[in-house]
């Protein structure tokens, strides 16, 4: 009998209406990576996409980003105010949110993306507090951010293309008071992380991001070369769930991996500081996730 994972893989490979990587996101990130990038060159790309113009201006004029500056209607000024890193995050987040807006009718998209964006940003907090500095240098900050942003994309795919199976595992998780991923593995022999990874491989996303998404509930089982980024996403996801930041429909969490905590060299004495930073970044995420 064909496994659910194999059936899902075949369906996702055959579907022609699946989302594709947003072209404007690729253009903006390529430009940010160019040594000749300027606020003007980035603005020239962004201004061709009205929804991104609105998103960047709204962020630049929001209280959390605006600071002492006057309100601006110039996309170039907004880019200069936000900085390239923040513009890249906003463009990536808004582009992907828009790409998936038609999927998952049974999901609260605002709560889903609020959690997802905050998880993406929180990966940077765990990278910064890790004492394994040499290992952290091998993980690109933007790769960790994208993995955090997309870690639960499999839930949207399951809600869209496998609603009966998702309803079954949600019901089981609720009745038995167990996490959704645990119910998925028991009933389907896979989980939403590995389902989401299938789409990312179709997109030719770098394998470190794919692995982090696939193994974010079992980070210690991820391939050794990608284990640290999976552990970072796992802990970022856990802390956001623990702080009730957004909701992806997962319900309970399985608890965090002590192996991940140890391998990243994190200290209990830093927990309150990390929590405070996550709560601060959650405000920033809300601006991005609702544009």
Report the C-alpha gap between 182 and 190 in whole angstroms.
9
Is residue 6 included in any domain, yes or no? no
- pLDDT by residue, tens only, the chain of 291 residues: 789 989 888 888 887 778 888 999 999 999 999 999 999 999 999 999 998 999 999 999 988 887 777 899 999 999 999 999 999 999 999 999 999 988 888 889 999 999 999 999 999 999 999 999 999 999 999 999 999 999 999 999 999 999 999 999 999 999 999 999 999 999 999 999 999 999 999 999 999 999 999 999 999 999 999 999 999 999 999 999 989 999 888 877 778 899 999 999 999 999 999 999 999 989 888 888 876
pTM equals: 0.93
In CATH, what number is assigned to the domain containing residue 260? 1.10.3210.10
Looking at the structure, tell me whether residues 84 and 108 fall in a common domain: no
Looking at the structure, tell me whether residues 74 and 128 fall in a common domain: no
Picking from 89, 117, 137, the residue at the C-terminal end of a domain is: 89
Looking at the structure, tell me whether residues 243 and 123 fall in a common domain: yes
Query: Which positions ≥6 away from 26 have C-beta within 8 Å?
Result: none
Report the SS3 class of residue 10: helix
Report the C-alpha gap between 216 and 211 in whole angstroms.
8
Report the C-alpha gap between 282 and 49 in whole angstroms.
26
Query: Which positions ≥6 away from 69 have C-beta within 8 Å?
Result: 81
CB count within 10 Å of CB 251 equals 16
Angstrom CA distances, 36 to 31, 40, 140, stand at: 8, 11, 20
Report the C-alpha gap between 215 and 230 in whole angstroms.
6
């Amino acid at each position: 009998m064909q496994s659910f994972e194999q059936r899902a893989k075949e369906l996702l490979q055959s579907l022609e209406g699946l989302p594709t990587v947003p072209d404007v996101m690729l253009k903006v990130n390529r430009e940010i990576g160019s040594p000749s990038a300027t606020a003007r060159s980035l603005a020239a790309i962004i201004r061709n996409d009205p929804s991104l113009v609105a998103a960047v201006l709204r962020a630049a004029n929001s209280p959390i980003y605006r600071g002492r500056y006057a309100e601006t209607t110039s996309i170039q000024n907004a880019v200069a105010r936000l900085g390239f890193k923040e513009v890249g995050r906003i463009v990536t987040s808004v582009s992907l949110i828009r790409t998936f807006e038609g999927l998952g009718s049974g999901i609260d998209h605002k709560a889903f993306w609020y959690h997802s964006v905050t998880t993406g940003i929180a990966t940077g907090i765990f990278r910064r507090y890790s004492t394994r500095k040499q290992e952290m240098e091998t993980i690109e900050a933007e790769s960790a951010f994208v993995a955090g942003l997309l870690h639960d994309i499999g839930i949207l795919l399951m809600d869209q293309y496998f609603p009966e199976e998702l309803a079954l595992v949600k019901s089981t998780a609720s009745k038995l008071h167990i996490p959704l991923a645990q119910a998925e593995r028991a009933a389907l022999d896979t989980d939403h992380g590995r389902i989401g990874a299938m789409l990312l491989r179709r997109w030719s996303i770098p394998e470190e991001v794919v692995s982090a998404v696939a193994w974010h509930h079992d980070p210690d089982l991820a391939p050794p070369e990608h284990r640290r980024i999976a552990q970072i996403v796992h802990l970022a996801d856990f802390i956001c769930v623990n702080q009730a930041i957004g909701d992806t429909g997962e319900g309970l969490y399985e608890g965090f991996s002590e192996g991940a905590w140890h391998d990243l060299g994190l200290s209990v004495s830093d927990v309150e500081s990390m929590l405070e930073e996550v709560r601060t970044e959650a405000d920033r995420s809300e601006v991005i996730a609702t544009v």
